[in-house]
Amino acid sequence: MIQSPTPRRARPTRLRTRVLTAAALVAASALALTACAPSTGGDAFASGDTFKVVLLGAYSTPPDPDVNYDGPGLNIIQNTYEGLVAYEDGSTTATIVPKLATDWTVSDDSLTYTFDLRKGVTFHDGTDFTADAVIASFARRTSVDAGPAYMVGDVTGVTAIDDYTVEVTLAAPNSAFLDYLASPFGVKMISPTVLSEQAGDDFAQTYLTDADAGTGPYELGSVTTGQSYQLTAYDKYWGDKPEFTTVDLTLSENASAVQLQLERGEIDAVLGDVNKTSFEDYSSNADLDASTFANFTTQTVFMNPQSAIFTTTENRAALFSAIDTKTILESSMGELEVPTTQLFPAGMLDESLDSQGVEYDPNALASLAASGIAAGKTIRIGYAGSSPDGKAVADELGANLSSAGLPAESISYGAGTIYGLADDLAAAPDIVVMSVFPDAAHVDAWARILYTPKGGLDVMAAEVPGLTDDLDAALLASDNEPYGAIAKKVIDSKYWYSIGSLQTTTITRSGLTGIDDARNLLEYNVLHFAALGNA
Amino acid sequence: MIMFIIRRIASMLGVLFALTVALFGLQELSGVDPARAYVGANASAEALERTRVQLGLDQPAIVRYFDYLGGLLHGDLQNSLRTRTPVAEGLSTAFPATVELALWSLGLALVLGSIFAVLTVTRWKGAGIVRVVLLSGASAPTFLLTMLGLLFFYGQLGLLPSGGRSSFGSTSPGPTGLFVLDGLLAGRVDVATDAIWHLILPAACVAISPAVAIGRVLVDGLRINLVSDHARTARSAGMPEGLVMLRHAVRNSLGATLSMIGIQAGLLLGGLVVVEKIVSWPGVGSYLDKSVQASDFPGIAGVALLLGVVYVVLNTLVDLLQVAADRRLVLS
């Protein structure tokens, strides 16, 4: 008689033995691999000659100074290229200092700038830096015609007086011109040899996607776009030689993993947006230095001109007064953001010319709430998802409004959509909170972009009548007085409210020198690696 | 067989065409301005307008769509708006990274699923523990599992690396772009071992969920087939239990299991997108993630089309394998 096999009979001892043997083999293989595996232990910080830094966030734009218009890209461009002038590193005021130009003069009619060029400078391909390079670099900026090209829009001619003197002529006086040259996004000097030999049909843009042709202290080595960039010290650099001969810059979007890497001593520094909690964690770690540095990046409230609730200047003024800036920033950003009373980035203009004059009044919205204008409505606060403080500030602001009797909600917008809000203001949120930075430390560079509809950052398309003409006129002036009047006009419109200055945040291992000198007021989360050294 | 493959290729072309229409439609509806991402946040309205013209965004959507389609027919995936380099070039380095991770994940899923099934069917004493571990792992979201894995195996134990593909740079030492294989082909055992070490955590985290799904289907198949008439006959004829398992139970359970493997392989690709971001794996998922952030339509479309091809090819392979495993099946 044949019996049906039961499941129990389907597990004879021999089979079980084989399964166990197989499991043992797998375990043994795993142990063997463990033995062969490279060490991941944090036995030492990246040592001696190599500086390992992780940049939090995404960055994939070519490190081409005439194309790049992204803050993170400055970590490569500012270390490999130089302009004629620059803003002083390590200074909390925007002071223009010589770089590849040792001196300059401006003609009486403010139309001609004459630069004396530094001698003994070579590009990374060995080409000497002369007036020809200046001419070629200005020409390329115009030819490529990307985002930063507007900075040389007024230039009508660049002429070599001799090998080491060059004259730049403008179509009209422009008090912001030197600032545009000093801007991190300003014209950088590029080897004319490379521009000629690698021109192709795109002004050498293809070549400069993974190579450099500058004069900076570092050369661009291996590049894996969007993942890692290696910089190596240029041994013929005209200035002080960098202590770190190699910089390994990698990108990561996983802040937790990067924090572990830093704590385990596998990297030397983290650049990029860290939140308040992480910053406090880092600060409490004795092996790490967490520090901030002044920056012109400014948290700004943008009002929708078509908002049903905030149509009038009075209502917008009431809203601004109801924002408890100090408390909001303290609770959401801590040391990472400092409240500001100025409209323009703090310190760009003297406070006597630029003061928003907004006093916090917890009852400011009471009459608005009581008027019933917001009945049945929810105030929508948009913020840029990519902004480090956008969500925190929008949420806190929403809570403030709600407690004042005006229900509010915060909405995240991607980088690709927030700039399109102005196309359909009826559907746009009532308020947008976003941190923005100027290209240069000149009021014109800030005001024209934020407060005029032609500017890229006037995200709500609000307009102050006559402001463009005022800005044009101010460019011709020899002092800052006209900008005081411009500040007042913008402040009185109540379409914009600057609430805080974001601080550059740098987390490094302890025992590193030169951190402050490696940072610049105009560059957010950027390090000039040549200034760094070991204690 | 040839007709079957031709039909599959035709259906693949249909799928890809539908994908391009869907992607283009979504791009139009999203309201995202690729020119803004291309030219930078602070760019003036004039610069923005010039860029729109330069990128052809001033043209009607239908014109842009057929331009894109025309390029596609010539193998041109266009230039990425993000990197300014050809999308095909970017994908040619990202794809091998994803293939390597996917193959290891799938391989691990098969091994774990098989162990799970065999231990369950044979009622091994420790099967309950294995089941609890696998089911717990499969119940957790992949991203959470990966994060916890990082915290424990890298942060606490220091056993596994924090991320990336290799400690030896981003260039593979061989022709395939698969670090383990290329390392072995080039005689660089250190590169291959290091690559395996980088693969373990992400592959294991991605593999757990498919392993359970595959294991469950295999368990059902094995249970049915182990008590079937032909298994009983084989035993009565004196065939050892191990051979009964292999020749009668496993083989006859393969059809449904292969179907499940096909489904899980497709789903696994979705899981990779998240895991790649967490462990900084430079694959197609990371490429897609960055492209989405930059509103880079050519990049997004390139990845979608590539994954569409992979999905169709995978299903075709599974169908062919099913026929090979069970001759009673006919390709149709």
Q: What is the CATH number of the domain that holds A73?
A: 3.40.190.10
Q: If contacts are CB pairs under 8 Å, which of residues 124-163 in chain A contact chain B? A: 145-150
Residue A12 is nearest to which of B42, B83, B241, comparing CB atoms?
B241
Q: Is residue A43 part of a domain?
A: no
Determine if residue A324 is left, alpha or beta; phi over 0 gives left, psi from -120 to 50 gives alpha, anything else beta.
beta
What is the reported pLDDT for A17? 53
- A446: nearest CA partner in chain B: B42
What is the reported pLDDT for A146? 87
Which residue spans within B237-295 are E strands per DSSP?
Answer: none
Check whether A2 has a pLDDT greater than 50: no
Tell me the average pLDDT of chain B. Answer: 85
Residues A206 and A247 in one domain: yes
User: Of all residues in chain A, what percent carry a pLDDT higher than 90?
Assistant: 60
What is the reported pLDDT for A41? 41
- A454: nearest CA partner in chain B: B45
Mean pLDDT of B153-177: 86
Mean pLDDT of A285-304: 93
Alpha-carbon distance of B50 to A147, in angstroms, equals 10
Mean pLDDT of A334-347: 92
Chain A, chain B: beta-carbon pairs less than 8 Å apart? 221
What is the reported pLDDT for A501? 93
Q: Is residue A38 part of a domain?
A: no
Would you call B40 and A58 a contact, using CB atoms and an 8 Å cutoff? no
pLDDT tens readout for residues B68-123: 888 888 888 888 888 888 899 999 989 999 999 999 999 999 999 988 888 888 87
**Is A454 an 8 Å CB contact of chain B?**
yes
Check whether B52 has a pLDDT greater than 90: no
Q: Where in chain B is the domain with CATH 1.10.3720.10?
A: 96-325
Kindly report the CATH number assigned to the domain that includes residue A460.
Answer: 3.10.105.10
Mean pLDDT of A110-128: 96
Nearest to A75 by CA among A279, A291, A272: A272
Residues A333 and A458 in one domain: yes
Q: Is residue A5 part of a domain?
A: no
Q: Say how many domains are in chain A.
A: 2
Q: Is residue B23 a contact partner of residue B308, using CB atoms and an 8 Å limit? A: no
Rounded to the nearest angstrom, the minimum Cα separation between B315 and chain A is: 30
Alpha-carbon distance of B47 to B54, in angstroms, equals 10
Check whether A89 has a pLDDT greater than 60: yes
Q: Is residue A460 a contact partner of residue A452, using CB atoms and an 8 Å limit? A: no
User: Of all residues in chain A, what percent carry a pLDDT higher than 70?
Assistant: 90
A496-502 vs A431-436, strand pairing mode: unpaired
Would you call A11 and B32 a contact, using CB atoms and an 8 Å cutoff? no
Give strand pairing partners of A431.
Answer: A303, A381
Q: If contacts are CB pairs under 8 Å, which of residues 386-445 in chain A contact chain B? A: 386, 414-417, 419-420, 423, 436-439
What is the reported pLDDT for B168? 84
Q: Which fold has domain B96-325?
A: MetI-like fold (1.10.3720)
Extract long-range pairs of B169-178: CB within 8 Å, 24+ residues apart: B169/A222, B170/A222, B170/A224, B170/A227, B170/A228, B170/B282, B172/B96, B176/B96, B177/B92, B177/B93, B177/B95, B177/B96, B177/B97, B177/B99, B177/B100, B178/B96, B178/B99, B178/B100, B178/B103
Residues A276 and A352 in one domain: no
Q: Which residues, including other chains, have CB under 8 Å from residue A339's CB and lie 6 or more apart?
A: A325, A326, A329, A499, A500
Residues A191 and A328 in one domain: no
What is the reported pLDDT for B332? 57
User: With 0-12 CB in 10 A as exposed, 13-18 as middle and 19+ as buried, what is A39?
Assistant: exposed
Alpha-carbon distance of A316 to A296, in angstroms, equals 25
**Is B210 an 8 Å CB contact of chain A?**
no
Residues A305 and A195 in one domain: no
Rounded to the nearest angstrom, the minimum Cα separation between B5 and chain A is: 37
Would you call B147 and A256 a contact, using CB atoms and an 8 Å cutoff? yes
pTM exceeds 0.90, yes or no: no
What is the reported pLDDT for A21? 52
- What domain range includes position A470? 298-502
Write phi, then psi, for A260 (nearest 5 degrees): -65, -40
What is the CB-side half-sphere exposure of residue A84 using CA atoms within 13 A? 28
Q: Is residue B126 a contact partner of residue A27, using CB atoms and an 8 Å limit? A: no
Contacts of A39 in chain B (CB under 8 A): 158
pLDDT grade for A18, boundaries at 50, 70 and 90: low
Residue B162 is nearest to which of A146, A257, A414, comparing CB atoms?
A257
Q: Is residue A237 a contact partner of residue A20, using CB atoms and an 8 Å limit? A: no
What is the reported pLDDT for A184? 96
Check whether A491 has a pLDDT greater than 90: yes
Q: How many residues does chain A have?
A: 535
Check whether A8 has a pLDDT greater than 70: no
Check whether A31 has a pLDDT greater than 70: no
Check whether A45 has a pLDDT greater than 50: no
What is the reported pLDDT for B134? 81
Would you call A260 and B44 a contact, using CB atoms and an 8 Å cutoff? no
